[in-house]
Amino acid sequence: MSIEKPAENRLWGGRFTGASDPLMDLYNASLPYDKKMYEADLTGTKVYTEGLNKLGLITSEELKAIHQGLEEIKKEWESDTFVEKQGDEDIHTANERRLGEIIGKHIAGKVHTGRSRNDQVATDMRIYVRENLTQLLKFLATFIETILKRAESEIDVLMPGYTHLQRAQPIRWSHWLSSYATYFTEDYNRLKQVLERVNKSPLGAGALAGHPYGIDREFLAQGLGFDSVIGNSLTAVSDRDFVVETLFWSTLFMNHISRFSEDLIIYSTAEFGFVKLSDAYSTGSSLMPQKKNPDSLELLRGKSGRVYGSLSGFLMSIKSIPSTYNKDMQEDKEPLFDALTTVEHSILIATGVISTLNIDKERMEGALTMDMLATDLADYLVRKGVPFRETHHISGDCVRTAEELKLSGIDKLTLEQFQKIDSRFGTDVKDVFNFETSVERRDATGGTAKSAVLKQLANLKSQLN
């Protein structure tokens, strides 16, 4: 009777003698997607073996051979010449198998001393996420800077501000830009906080109980650029909060991108005509040659749902797993990788859209109507000492009267008609009906006056470091 042997390069194969179901091999394998982490895995092994060398478990000559082998493997991945083989179930197995082929199995077999795939994969993921979030931070800063630059250069353009998608009060276009720059700057600051929590080292925690040879975990953390170590070995191997937080952050950012995109989609319609997208971020219709579709913005809006799904799906995967490592955790990588890629592409596309679109100043300012100054009319009487609740009612009477008389706006009421509604209206009431005056009155912090908007832009710019 012959016994089928499992693939020799399996890191867990010693106890098993029977062959596994080929479908199970496929179901269990993560190399097709976790090979993205090849560099993080090689870096982790490089530093870990330095720690083993400090303990005297690897000689300096062996360490040199290992590092040379790791460098050769890295070049193979970079040049797309790394040959994947049957039994390479994940990036850790593949790299260790290849290292044995290059430097010999005897020396390569020492790199896993005291290390488990549990702390190895957690380390790889934290390195990978850290590097990706650091890159996202740079892209996001550029996106925000692009918005701020546009806001500064178009500070004098006025447009309607909306509530319930109804014209409300006049604002500056730059005030609208500043509002989204504020959202995105909050995302930027939150991302820095997430990075701090990501950047903690699980390496040296072993399978769950800790390292049997007393490895210097602080040395490993410093060598890998981590700020600190995770102080409990059980938590170190099982914690995926950093994945959840990354997905939470990505979801909230994409929510802001989706709202930003929706506004621009509306503003780009023929009914509004406030903005026109560059051809680089638009498409035409296969049937109607006159159409120019804002596909870039619609995709930004649509891909937010994809990221939401990554978060909710992963939360369901980990909601009830028992302590330390369980194979359910392998489900962390695909949603995480997909979300990171989607967010990166979305930031780059959004940056391209906002840097290349054209605005129609005349259409924006032409959409301003005198009824939007009804609150300013109420404020006029407040300045004369009338309580606001009373002035609000009086201003409403003016709007209704203008409508009943079929006038084009409340500014068309005569002084006599104003005074018939309330005798406290004076000859200076006509000064109310100026859009520039209206926005300039709102100069308190956060307002739409030029001075207030410029302060907002300066404050946001100061936060990007």
User: How far apart (Å, rounded) are the C-alpha atoms in residues 391 and 397?
Assistant: 10
Instruction: Output the CA angle 147-160-186, nearest 5 degrees.
Output: 35
The residues that bridge with 201 in the sheet, in sequence order, are: 229
166-172/158-163 β-pairing: antiparallel
Please say whether the dihedral angle defined by the alpha carbons of residues 56, 60, 61 and 67, taken in this order, is positive or negative.
positive
Question: Strands, DSSP E only, in 203-273?
Answer: 228-229
| Residue closest to 162 by CA, chosen among 175, 151, 149, 150 | 175
- Exactly one of 106, 164, 320, 462 is catalytic; name it: 164
What torsion do the CA atoms of 254, 354, 153, 174 make, to the nearest 10 degrees? -40
Distance CA 208, CA 206 (A): 5
Q: Tell me if 251 sits within 8 A of 336, measured CB to CB.
A: no
Helix, strand, coil abundance in the chain, percent, nearest 5? 65, 5, 30
Catalytic-residue membership of 164: yes
Beta bridge partners of 169: 161
Pairing of strands 200-201, 158-163: unpaired
Q: Residues 153, 285, 312, 323: which is the catalytic one?
A: 285
How crowded is residue 431: how many other Cβ atoms within 10 Å of its Cβ? 11
Instruction: Verify whether residue 92 is a known catalytic residue.
Output: no
Active site residues: 164, 285
